A and B are shown apart, each in its own frame.
Chain A
Amino acid sequence: MTGAPSETIKQTLDDPRLQLAIYTASGRLMDHRATAVGAGVLPEYQDLRTQANLIKKHTIENLDYYLEQLEANVVAHGGKVVFCRDGQEVADFVLGLAKKNGARLIVKSKSMTSEEIHFNERLEHHQLEAVETDLGEYILQLAHQRPYHIVAPALHMTRYDVADVFTKRLGIEKEVVPENQTKIARAVLREKFLEADIGVTGANFLIADSGAVVVVENEGNARLSSSTPKIHIAVAGIEKLIPRAQDLAVFLDLLGRSATGQPLTVYTSFLSGPRRGEEVDGPDEFYLVLLDNGRTKLLTDPEKRQSLYCIRCGACLNHCPVYRKIGGHNYPWVYSGPIGAIITPQFHDITENGWLPFASSLCGACAEVCPVKIEIPKLLLKLRSEVTEAKQRQGTGGLERLAFRMFAWVMAHPKIYLLGGRIGAILAPLVPPLGPLKKWASQRTLPRPAKQSFHQMWAARKRT
């Protein structure tokens, strides 16, 4: 059983500049969201959440049907659908396509699904270059880092950090003005768009009844990635489906608001197949790569499969007091925060990620802001019990299990409980804090057990 990365967590906590950057940036996103879903602005907000939840529930429970419908409609538009079991199959497909077309350069818009399968690294090994064109992702690619946050990948970096990365990797003079930094990135990336052979995007939604891929973004780079190169590949998890185009109204109203507080992102692109007949823009070839990578495994559990409702808005991260302290890189997978804590142990080995469901105070702030109403605390609790069961099967965690068995026994025997409490009260001032008490005392003053328990005080009160 792998534990939490306590050393790097401590480093994060002890870095005041980083702490301020995370807390300020996530706080700003919280404020923006609160305004955008406020009763005066969006009175139907709670109804939209309920509707979004029901649509996702219906879709996930009928995924086979909608996947087939989607495939038929994409094909009808002249596109091709490729089902991939894992990242290796995606890479094999892309490499094959690149070889056939003599492609050397890929421009890519922001996609967590591609991050999830280490898309760029897989291609790099085969001399196929993939350039990130989202500003935050581009900065991270230059800095050789993975996203810190689902929506704001470079959330932890200040403009001074960005200036350092640009100086080091682009060989330019130090530039600390964000607008100028953007111009620098744009100048580099425009060339890449024109040179690229293949454009890769993710997908925010896949509409079954119209065979369309919907991508939302603010920078226009996804639109360029999907329309400038001759070949467009959209990589999406199978859970991105929604049944009908009209369902999109619900999700578009929630996604931007929950993520950044925008009623709608700057660009919303509906991509359905390659350029046809008279059309001026668009690729010659369109491929939709549908990725499983562990998702179908979640479908079997009627409760846990709600984890697949997630639309990756990042609101649970912004509102999570744990994420806001430990940041994104201490989570083992690209998905961090509360959603990462519930999906990582489900997609991967639960024993290797057993610490994640416990890295929560169960405050419930995540569930309150989740636009599709995933019951994150409930799932954390369920996963906690699965972790303790897995530990038992492995023959580990025996001491803790024994402690809780004793706890249960003592609490079911009031006389023992009272006696134990009083012995504890006598011993507490005499012995140094050990075990859990020592951990408590590492941060806080230990409370002293009361000289008299309430039981004793009440009995004395009754006598007088």
Chain B
Amino acid sequence: MKVSLFVTCIVDQVFPQVGIAMAEVLERLGYEVDFPPAQTCCGQPAFNSGYPQEARTVARHFLDVFRDSEYIVVPSGSCTSMITHHYEEIFKDDSKQLEQAHRVAPRVWEFSRFLLEVAKAEDVGARYDGVVTYHDSCHALRELRIKSGPRRLLAKVQGLTLREMDVAEECCGFGGTFSIKFPEVSGAMARTKIESIKKTEASTVVSIDSSCLMQLQGVIDRAGLPIRTLHLAEVLASR
């Protein structure tokens, strides 16, 4: 069976290894992995900044690129939710594009959900030695209702101990342009999260959204802490 990757702009430009890891896991499960090269972004940065018109241009491009894909797998809860939950709003006055959005949306899968619900794979044969803690990214948690899935996948990784932090569901403070419009508030939010992570004594923070991890790693590095952040796909790809 063929799956198409939508790696998202942030993974493409900043964390390409996440996309490679995702492809490796999917190939290991026997999928033929396809990468439509005309892909760019889902449009969320413009939509969340108050520019729906500009977001529409990007969203139209996305729908065009993935027109014929049967399964679209995304290493991000936030970008998945943009497509499955917010294209509705973006195209509310454009019936043709709205129909296209409705056709594509059910084929868009956040990576961990694809593994569990389509591939039906809880144990992907990964090994990762260490204590990890899982950060619930907001749009995955509250818009896609993804909570236990990634934890179930992590529980099956050999050598891995999952230790919950006390505020796993609290926002990391990224919030797209919020992080640069209100840098001090955003930074303070991340530091609260880091305090909670430190208490777990985990060496690794795992999430299904690279944008949250970029924010957390940025604050971790600024504080000089011995903690690394990894996307779930990277953990599942290691052996």
Contacts and interface: CB of A to CB of B under 8 A. Distances in A.
A459 to B, nearest CB: 8
Contacts of B32: none
A1 interface: no
Interface stretch (B101-109, B166-174, B201-209): B166-174
A357 B11 CA distance: 28
A405 B45 CA distance: 12
Given A321-B171, A384-B48, A387-B50, A445 B12 contact: no
Interface string B151-192: 000000000000000000111011111111111111111101
B47 interface: yes
Interface string A16-51: 000100010000000000000000000000000000
B12 A453 contact: yes
Given A360-B175, A404-B54, A325 B49 contact: no
A142 to B, nearest CB: 30
Interface in A361-385: 361-365, 367-368, 378, 381, 384-385
B16 A453 contact: yes
A411 B19 contact: no
Interface residues of A, number: 65
Contacts of B188: 13, 19, 325
B58 A412 contact: yes
Given A13-B188, A446-B218, A414 B38 contact: yes
A411 B138 contact: no
A442 B47 CA distance: 25
A306 to B, nearest CB: 15
Interface centre among A357, A364, A448, A458 (most CB of B within 10 A): A458
B142 A405 contact: no
A439 B178 CA distance: 11
A459 B53 CA distance: 32
B175 to A, nearest CB: 3
Contacts of B170: 321, 365
B238 interface: no
Contacts of A442: 183-184, 187
Given A449-B13, A452-B16, A411 B184 contact: no
Interface stretch (A71-79, A148-156, A229-237, A417-425): A417-425
A439 B180 contact: yes
A411 B222 CA distance: 31
A361 B142 contact: no
Contacts of A404: 45-46, 49, 51, 54
Contacts of B177: 358, 436
A459 B182 CA distance: 38
A367 B142 CA distance: 9
Interface in A388-409: 388, 400-401, 404-405, 407-409
B80 interface: no
Interface in A431-447: 436, 439-440, 442-447
Contact of A439 (B89, B183, B189, B217): B183
A117 interface: no
B73 to A, nearest CB: 13
A457 interface: yes
Contacts of B183: 439-440, 442-443
A360 B180 contact: no
B14 A458 contact: no
B218 A445 contact: yes
A455 interface: yes
Contact of A408 (B11, B58, B186, B190): B58
Given A362-B178, A364-B138, A444 B47 contact: no
B37 interface: yes
A443 B16 contact: no
B11 A358 contact: no
B47 A381 contact: yes
A450 interface: yes
A440 B38 CA distance: 29
A311 interface: no
Contacts of B180: 436, 439-440
A444 B48 contact: no
B61 A411 contact: yes
B14 A9 contact: no
A322 B185 contact: yes
Contacts of A443: 183-184, 186-187, 190, 218-219, 222
A326 interface: yes
Nearest to B224: A445
B45 A444 contact: no
Most chain B CB within a 10 A radius of its CB, from A13, A364, A412: A412
Given A325-B189, A446-B218, A457-B20, A411 B43 contact: yes
A450 B16 contact: yes
Given A411-B41, A442-B183, A446-B218, A401 B51 contact: yes
A359 interface: yes
Contacts of A360: 175, 178
A196 B174 CA distance: 52
24 contacts: A9-B185, A358-B181, A360-B175, A361-B171, A361-B176, A362-B48, A362-B175, A365-B171, A400-B49, A404-B46, A408-B51, A408-B54, A408-B57, A411-B9, A411-B43, A412-B57, A440-B183, A442-B184, A443-B184, A447-B217, A448-B14, A449-B13, A449-B14, A454-B35
10 shortest A-B CB distances, which residue pairs? Answer: A361-B175, A444-B218, A443-B187, A384-B50, A363-B171, A408-B54, A454-B16, A445-B221, A388-B50, A364-B142
Given A358-B50, A358-B181, 11 more contacts: A321-B189, A359-B178, A361-B138, A361-B171, A361-B174, A362-B178, A408-B43, A411-B58, A421-B13, A443-B187, A454-B12
